[in-house]
Amino acid sequence: MLDLSIIVPSFNEEESLGELVAWIARVMAKSQWTYEVIIVDDGSRDNSMKVIETLSASNPEVKAISFRRNYGKSAALNVGFAAAQGNVVITMDADLQDSPDEIPALMNMILVEGYDMVSGWKKVRHDPLSKTLPSKIFNGVVRRISGIQLHDFNCGLKAYRRDVVKSVEVYGEMHRYIPLLAKEAGFVKIGEKVVTHYERKFGVSKFGIERTIKGFLDLLSVTFMSKFGKRPMHLFGALGTLMFFIGFVAALWLGAKKLWFVFHSVAAPLVTSSPYFYLALTCMILGTQLFLAGFIAELVTRNAPERNVYKISRKIGIE
């Protein structure tokens, strides 16, 4: 087994790749570690593939997977993770913003200090304010929700123990949430390392402001899936019961009041003239709907092939 796999998702980064591979080779030459660089070309429309072919012809460590079209960074990381043969896996952006000089320290944190994963922290960042400010807010929210104390969830430079990358499935735009996915898979020793960040030397950023919106929607999905993915009825059923109960109490109150009036022969107002009537109606309908959503979600999860797949770390005496 190789000591290290470096996965580089790359989309239209032809100018940077040569420099990056040379830099990695310089750093790795000072160590004893065996390694591979897996460049995942995410459907680039420039000359990236030509560049990668030339690089791989002269460096046996350089390997590549090329998508026919652009699928996004998460998809690129996912196939990179599946292909990785290293004992430790490090991901790194292709645009020379992440520094290969960090590799030895990251390796050390995984191998010696025993971290399951280590995330880079671009403490001093060379990006415009339009990017750094939303990012600060974003990281604060994710910290609160996930309980994982990282400052920079979206850092492209991260290191993992092999088991971690083989246990998580990164899809959609989930690459920002790999620490959450790792935690959910049972890897709790998650560390952080301040890393040097450089300005983008060539080309342009591939992500705009819309990433913030997608990011928050994905955060909802990740938290929902990790908490209720295998038991949706517990969420919908609880909410449905609560709603129905509120409606039922309101209806009961109205009915009782009406009966009291009738019983005492007092002229009673119409039930429909009370606001509680509408409250009761809406709540009971919403409650029922939530219940139905819960049942349908339960049916869907029961039919999912991975419904009984659990992350097993070790077996003793069992094949």
Contact partners, residue 276, CB within 8 Å, separation at least 6: 250, 251, 253, 254
- Select from Mg ion, ligand UDP, none the partner in contact with residue 72, using the beta carbon and a kind-dependent cut-off of 5 to 8 Å: ligand UDP
- Measured between its terminal Cα atoms, the distance across the chain in Å is 23
9 sits near ligand UDP (criterion: CB under 6 A): yes
Amino acid at 11: F
Burial of 24 by CB count in 10 Å (0-12 exposed, 13-18 middle, 19+ buried)? buried
# residues contacting ligand UDP (CB under 6 A): 17
- 3-state DSSP assignment of residue 75: helix
Q: Which of these segments, 20-28, 87-95, 239-247, 282-290, binds ligand UDP (CB under 6 A)?
A: 87-95
Which of the residues 183 through 242 are near ligand UDP (CB under 6 A)?
A: 205-207
Q: Choose, by CB under 6 A, the member of 4, 7, 13, 62 that binds ligand UDP.
A: 13
φ, ψ of residue 87 to 5 degrees: the values are -75, -35
Q: Site residues for ligand UDP, window 55-84 (CB under 6 A)? A: 70, 72-73, 76
| Nearest one of 273, 286, 274 to 246, comparing CA atoms | 286
Q: How far is residue 166's CA from residue 179's CA, in Å, rounded to a whole number?
A: 14
Of the candidates 59, 53, 27, which has an alpha carbon nearest to the alpha carbon of residue 41?
53
Among 14, 42, 61, 116, binds ligand UDP (CB under 6 A): 42
Binding of residue 156 to ligand UDP (CB under 6 A): yes
What, of ligand UDP, Mg ion, none, does residue 9 touch, CB below 5 to 8 Å by kind? ligand UDP
11 binds, among ligand UDP, Mg ion, none (CB under 5 to 8 A by kind): ligand UDP
Using the rule CB under 6 A, is 178 a contact of ligand UDP?
no
Residues making contact with Mg ion (CB under 5 A): 93, 95, 97
Considering only the stretches 7-15, 48-56, 180-188, 247-255, report the one whose residues sit in contact with ligand UDP under the rule CB under 6 A: 7-15
Min dist. Cβ of residue 147 to ligand UDP (A): 24
Residue with tokens 């949706």: 232
Closest to ligand UDP by CB, 36 or 184: 36
Comparing CB distances to ligand UDP, the nearer of 75 and 107 is: 75
Judged by beta carbon distances under 5 to 8 A according to partner kind, the member of Mg ion, ligand UDP, none in contact with residue 31 is none
Sort 265 into a burial class: Cβ within 10 Å, 0-12 / 13-18 / 19+: exposed
Smallest separation, CB 149 to ligand UDP (Å) = 22
HSE-CB of 282 using CA atoms within 13 angstroms: 5
The CA-atom distances, in angstroms, between 216 and each of 7, 75, 128, 183, 291 are 26, 19, 21, 19, 26
Token match 């000089």: residue?
101
Per CB under 6 A, residues contacting ligand UDP are 9-11, 13, 42, 70, 72-73, 76, 93-95, 97, 156, 205-207
